[in-house]
Amino acid sequence: MREGKSNNLERLKDLRRVTSFVVDGNIVGFENDAKMLLGKLLEDEPRRYVVSIFGMRSLGKTTLAKNLYHNIDVLNKFKCRAWVCVSQDYKTEDLLRRIVKSFEVKINGMELEKMSGEDLERCLYKSLQGCLYLAVIDDVWQKEAWESLKRAFSDDNNGSRVIIITRIKEVAERSDERIHVHKLRFLRPDESWNLLCENAFRKSNANEELEKLGRETVEKCSGLPLAIIVLGGLLSTEKPQEWRSIHDHFWQHLRNDSIHIPSLLTLSFNDMPYQLKLCFLYLGIFPEDFKFFIEKAIRLLVAEGFIREDDDRVMEEVAKNHLDELINRSLVQIENICRGRVETCRIHDLL
Ligand SMILES: Nc1ncnc2c1ncn2[C@@H]1O[C@H](COP(=O)(O)OP(=O)(O)O)[C@@H](O)[C@H]1O
Ligand SMILES: [Mg+2]
């Protein structure tokens, strides 16, 4: 009886935690950027053009694009949508295959894996003809990437758009002859503080002293969202009296008056219990920025022997708890939630 009760309590706690997660894609501070870019996607310009989102690593480019991609007006306008991540070394053929998959193109009687580059181009071109589409091409390193894909994208003067996300100025400015460049800025101090609060306190509030310490510390994140959410995740696990020592630790390790990101990550990592460290390191088997299913990660962790047995919980539950903990620490980001439960996640390539 007692066991049943405590299990129920655990479940309730789990449920509460899930609903207080900050979903990747909710943006703090870039509301005007989003509004402006939305205008570009939705405007009555029939000629297809590229919108490039440009800025340094972990500035929030993918998050901003995701926010646009899931916007209700965007969903209503663009019936065909695709999202692919390119990264540094890619093969055009493989990219085309992933684009075909993402657009959910129906391929009659052919096996996607066996199709040649030309087959893929032809098939994509045919299926996009007459379609109003939006394609997001994330993490592009060379301006040739879009050039090599372009001929597979039928251009029917119907208002289709392509978003290119990049850290490289040349890619942002010269990938296409019709391009609107959006340079992403750093978060301002107040926005940084709001983002820290979302991650450090979830639903509670800071008292005056914590607010002073928190504001001082977050200022040293120089408006870089990833640093802010990892800091927030770290602070959320600490008792208020520990905030001072974290603040002082960073003051001793400042580089160019900013928090040194590797030392922030090390601190966050060192702060974790051994079992959690193991899980986090194991998740490194997934490719960078890879979207993985939480259920799959749980099964893998259990099958590979990374989960220790617990008296009153099955191993899957323990694994799930570890993953929740990593999410709370912002070391794993939620990609999407389905019926109140986390379905997919990813780990930022910087982590
Ligand atoms: N404006 C923002 N509001 C809230 N969280 C953000 C914001 N920008 C970025 N983040 C968080 O920071 C992390 C890194 O952002 P991301 O979009 O992956 O950066 P980039 O694509 O520029 O490398 C994301 O997981 C996201 O949770
Ligand atoms: Mg990104």
Specify the number of domains making up the chain: 2
- Gap between the Cα atoms of 145 and 122, Å rounded: 18
In a domain, 280, yes or no: yes
Task: Supply the mean pLDDT for the chain.
Answer: 87
pLDDT at residue 168 above 50?
Answer: yes
**Is residue 229 lining ligand 1, measured as CB closer than 6 Å?**
yes
Mean pLDDT value across residues 102-117 = 86
Shared domain for 192 and 333, answered yes or no, is yes
Residues 278, 306 contacting (CB under 8 angstroms): yes
What are φ and ψ of residue 262, in 5° steps?
Answer: -60, -35
Residue of 253 and 140 predicted with greater confidence: 140
**Amino acid symbol at 307:** I
Please report which ligand is nearest the Cα atom of 191. Answer: 1
What CATH number does the domain containing 120 carry? Answer: 3.40.50.300
pLDDT at residue 171 above 80?
Answer: yes
Residues 52, 179 contacting (CB under 8 angstroms): yes
Shared domain for 179 and 192, answered yes or no, is no
Q: How far is the CA of 62 from the centre of ligand 1 (A)?
A: 7
Separation of first and last alpha carbons in the chain:
43
CB hemisphere CA count around 89 (13 angstroms) = 1
Closest CA to 36 of 174, 181, 187: 181
Q: Which of 167, 183, 199 lies at the terminal end of a domain, its last residue? A: 183
Mutate to test the pocket of ligand 1, among 26, 70, 194, 229 (most ligand atoms within 8 A of CB): 229
- Gap between the Cα atoms of 287 and 347, Å rounded: 9
Shared domain for 220 and 196, answered yes or no, is yes
Shared domain for 147 and 43, answered yes or no, is yes
Shared domain for 271 and 156, answered yes or no, is no
pLDDT in tens, 270-297: 889 999 999 999 998 888 778 899 999 9
Shared domain for 177 and 216, answered yes or no, is no
Shared domain for 144 and 228, answered yes or no, is no
**Is residue 24 lining ligand 1, measured as CB closer than 6 Å?**
yes
pLDDT at residue 244 above 90?
Answer: no
Q: Which of 149, 183, 217 lies at the terminal end of a domain, its last residue? A: 183
Residues 343, 293 contacting (CB under 8 angstroms): yes
Shared domain for 14 and 132, answered yes or no, is no
Shared domain for 194 and 341, answered yes or no, is yes
Report the atom number in ligand 1 closest to the C-alpha of 289: 18
Please report which ligand is nearest the Cα atom of 139. Answer: 2
Which structure tokens are listed for 7?
């299990």
pTM: 0.86
**Amino acid symbol at 95:** L
Shared domain for 13 and 44, answered yes or no, is no
Q: How far is the CA of 102 from the centre of ligand 2 (A)?
A: 18
Q: Kindly report which listed range (16-20, 48-52, 258-262, 298-302) carries the lowest average pLDDT score.
A: 16-20
Q: Ligand 1, atom 13: nearest CA belongs to which residue?
A: 226
pLDDT in tens, 26-85: 789 999 999 999 999 999 999 999 999 999 988 999 999 999 999 999 999 999 999 999
Angle between helices 315-328 and 294-303 (to 10 degrees): 120
In a domain, 273, yes or no: yes
Residues 175, 163 contacting (CB under 8 angstroms): no
Mean pLDDT value across residues 138-156 = 93
**Is residue 348 lining ligand 1, measured as CB closer than 6 Å?**
yes
Q: Which of 164, 183, 202 lies at the terminal end of a domain, its last residue? A: 183
The domain containing residue 199 runs over which residues?
A: 2-22+188-346
**Is residue 166 lining ligand 1, measured as CB closer than 6 Å?**
no
Shared domain for 138 and 226, answered yes or no, is no
Mean pLDDT value across residues 198-214 = 79
E strand or H helix at 179? strand 179-183
**Is residue 192 lining ligand 1, measured as CB closer than 6 Å?**
no
In a domain, 122, yes or no: yes
Shared domain for 141 and 112, answered yes or no, is yes
In a domain, 351, yes or no: no
Closest CA to 289 of 83, 70, 31: 83
Mean pLDDT value across residues 104-123 = 87
Residues 276, 320 contacting (CB under 8 angstroms): no
Mean pLDDT value across residues 151-165 = 95
pLDDT at residue 174 above 90?
Answer: yes
Most confident of the following: 84-88, 112-116, 193-197, 347-351 = 193-197
pLDDT above 70 as % of the chain = 91
